[in-house]
Amino acid sequence: MRMKVKSPLEVYNFLPRTNCKDCGYDTCMSFASRILDRSAKVYDCKPLVRDAEKDPKVKEKLEKLVELTSPEIAEVIVGVGDKAIKIGGEEVLHRHELTFFNPTAFFFDVWDTLDDKKIEERCKRVVDYKKFYVGKYLTLDGFAVRCTSNDPKRFREVAKKVASYGKPMVLISLNPECMKAALEEVANQRPLIYAATEGNWKEFMKLAFDYKVPVAIRAKDLNVLKSIAVTFKSAGIKDIVLDPVTEPLGEGLQKTFERVIQLRRKAILDGDKDVAYPILITPISAWLIEGDEVTKAYWEAVIAGLFIVKYGDAMIFHSIDQHVVMPTLTLRFNIYTDPRTPVQVAAGLREINSPSPEDPVFLTTNFALTYYTVENDLNSAKIKGWLLVVNTDGIGVEASVAGGKLTAAKVKEIIEQTKVAEKVNHRYLVIPGLAARLQGAIEDETGWKVLVGPIDSGRIKGWMEKNWPPKK
């Protein structure tokens, strides 16, 4: 981590030091430490912002502080409004050193030689995509609109159509005329334009400047990539994304891996601001290889996986099939989970679907993933029940049984704490199938009759049909 300021004290010196609490923190010092770990923004200091409007000296101070605390990798915004997406903004090479901040943005391919009906179908699939995970829905970020017609009019028309879905877009054409036509229509949606190359950089520089949109630079030679970036920056273009060219196979893929890692290391280890921009990866390149659809799709997922772990800030996908989307989306969530916050929920008793005293008592751990999975499975199967959540320090069922975090003593403790015995008129406890080996111990410890439920909570419904109410 090479933030230019490293201690809260350095930040504190820029603040009013009045402990006014307007920012929501008790002291300026605690606010300062929040700025450093990026859970608060400099602009949250209301007095500083207010004074900066009147006093040029304070303004200078504010700007200096913003600069000193800005992320190592530039943060670029694509799209507008509440669906706008931030890419880049990273600080570290390894997530345990702090965290990764802005999850890799996933843009999905739409091309302008498709007929309108097919375009609508694809757009709808992207917009409607949903996958429940850890208490929320994973969704897809936006579209990559490719100009395969080389016809400015058609590209403009399709860009407009896709824009109507309200998601951030990447516009793809190396032809400045086509790009200009689309920008005339959708520049106000702040699309990322792709791409400036050694061949067209002048025209693309002008487009990025005139329409005030972020621009991707594409070059396999990192000297060229850096040269274009430096040239753009010196012309006042700040919102830059780097595409070091994703080669999908063989030596090309190995070299791509090297380029991506070297770009990011250069920015973070050497503090080279000329390459400290978000990196764009194109798993869609996998569709250039020979083979059947499944092969290409699998390889697309592989390329995406590689660069979700290693520094890809935005990606362009072709496939919208689940065997590509589900694993990569899940991986993105995992890699960008903040390792500083344990993924836990509070222990205790939850009432699912307003249960009555004769309904079953289930047991699970406080690992957020486990908890939300069970809760959702019960809800969606419309099962009424009482759900006991044991504090296992955020460890899942199998590992917490093995590691002694889920024990008969803990089960007894939660039964007593929650007074669940007063809420039900039976003494049956349903434990997860993966905790089956605790059955006897829990019975001995609590005096409750323990029923071993299914290994996966998605199966509780079927299990209930056979096992509930329990046969005496």
133-172: contacts with other proteins (CB under 8 A): 133, 137, 146-148, 150, 172
- Check residue 309 for interaction with other proteins (CB under 8 A): yes
Contact (CB, 8 A) for 432 and 389: no
For residue 469, cis peptide bond before it (omega within 30 degrees of 0) = yes
In the list 61, 154, 265, 273, the residue contacting other proteins (rule: CB under 8 A) is 265
Residue 138 has φ and ψ, to the nearest 5°, of: -80, 135
Near other proteins in 278-297, by CB under 8 A: 282, 284-285, 287-295, 297
Apex CA 369: angle with CA 469 and CA 415, to 5°? 45
| 299 versus 448: smaller Cβ distance to other proteins | 299
Question: Which listed range, 14-22, 320-328, 354-362, 414-422, lies at the site for other proteins (CB under 8 A)?
Answer: 320-328
Contact (CB, 8 A) for 122 and 114: yes
- Check residue 206 for interaction with other proteins (CB under 8 A): yes
Tell me the C-alpha distance between 273 and 283, whole Å: 26
Question: Which listed range, 9-17, 116-124, 242-250, 347-355, lies at the site for other proteins (CB under 8 A)?
Answer: 242-250
Q: 316: exposed, middle or buried (C-beta count within 10 Å: 0-12, 13-18, 19+)? A: buried
Question: Which listed range, 29-37, 44-52, 74-82, 314-322, lies at the site for other proteins (CB under 8 A)?
Answer: 314-322
Contact (CB, 8 A) for 416 and 392: no
In the list 248, 312, 360, 453, the residue contacting other proteins (rule: CB under 8 A) is 248
Tell me the C-alpha distance between 453 and 363, whole Å: 10
In the list 235, 351, 393, 440, the residue contacting other proteins (rule: CB under 8 A) is 235
| 46 versus 437: smaller Cβ distance to other proteins | 437
Tally of CA atoms within 13 A in the half-sphere of 53 that contains its CB: 5
For residue 195, cis peptide bond before it (omega within 30 degrees of 0) = yes
| 43 versus 132: smaller Cβ distance to other proteins | 132
Pairing of strands 75-78, 85-88: antiparallel
| 40 versus 239: smaller Cβ distance to other proteins | 239
In the list 73, 179, 213, 219, the residue contacting other proteins (rule: CB under 8 A) is 219
Question: Which listed range, 11-19, 67-75, 262-270, 344-352, lies at the site for other proteins (CB under 8 A)?
Answer: 262-270
* Minimum distance from residue 190 beta carbon to other proteins (Å): 18
Near other proteins in 355-384, by CB under 8 A: 367, 369, 376-377, 380-381
Near other proteins in 324-353, by CB under 8 A: 324, 326-328, 330-331, 333-335, 337, 339
Q: Per-residue b/e over 157-168, b at no fewer than 16 CB within 10 Å?
A: bbbebbbebebb
Tell me the C-alpha distance between 155 and 160, whole Å: 8
In the list 135, 166, 348, 458, the residue contacting other proteins (rule: CB under 8 A) is 458
Sign of the torsion angle spanned by Cα atoms 115, 120, 123, 124: negative
Near other proteins in 391-450, by CB under 8 A: 396, 398-399, 402-403, 437
Q: Long-range contact list for 229-236, CB < 8 A, 24+ apart?
A: 229/274, 229/275, 229/277, 230/274, 231/201, 231/205, 232/196, 232/201, 232/205, 232/208, 233/274, 235/205, 235/209, 236/209
Near other proteins in 25-64, by CB under 8 A: none
- Check residue 224 for interaction with other proteins (CB under 8 A): yes
Size of the site for other proteins (CB under 8 A): 118
* Minimum distance from residue 6 beta carbon to other proteins (Å): 20
- Check residue 201 for interaction with other proteins (CB under 8 A): yes
* Minimum distance from residue 308 beta carbon to other proteins (Å): 8
Contact (CB, 8 A) for 377 and 460: yes
What are the respective helix, strand and coil percentages of the chain, to the nearest 5? 50, 15, 35
Residue 316: which of 415, 159, 170, 416 has the closest Cα?
Answer: 170
Binding-site string for other proteins from residue 1 to residue 30, where x marks contact by CB under 8 A and - marks none: ------------------------------
Tell me the C-alpha distance between 257 and 359, whole Å: 55
- What separation, in Å, do the N-terminal and C-terminal C-alpha atoms of the chain show? 62
| 40 versus 325: smaller Cβ distance to other proteins | 325
- Check residue 466 for interaction with other proteins (CB under 8 A): no
Question: Dihedral through CA 413, CA 353, CA 437, CA 464, nearest 10?
Answer: 150
In the list 247, 313, 359, 445, the residue contacting other proteins (rule: CB under 8 A) is 247
In the list 68, 77, 84, 249, the residue contacting other proteins (rule: CB under 8 A) is 249
* Minimum distance from residue 60 beta carbon to other proteins (Å): 20
* Minimum distance from residue 220 beta carbon to other proteins (Å): 6
* Minimum distance from residue 345 beta carbon to other proteins (Å): 15
* Minimum distance from residue 36 beta carbon to other proteins (Å): 21
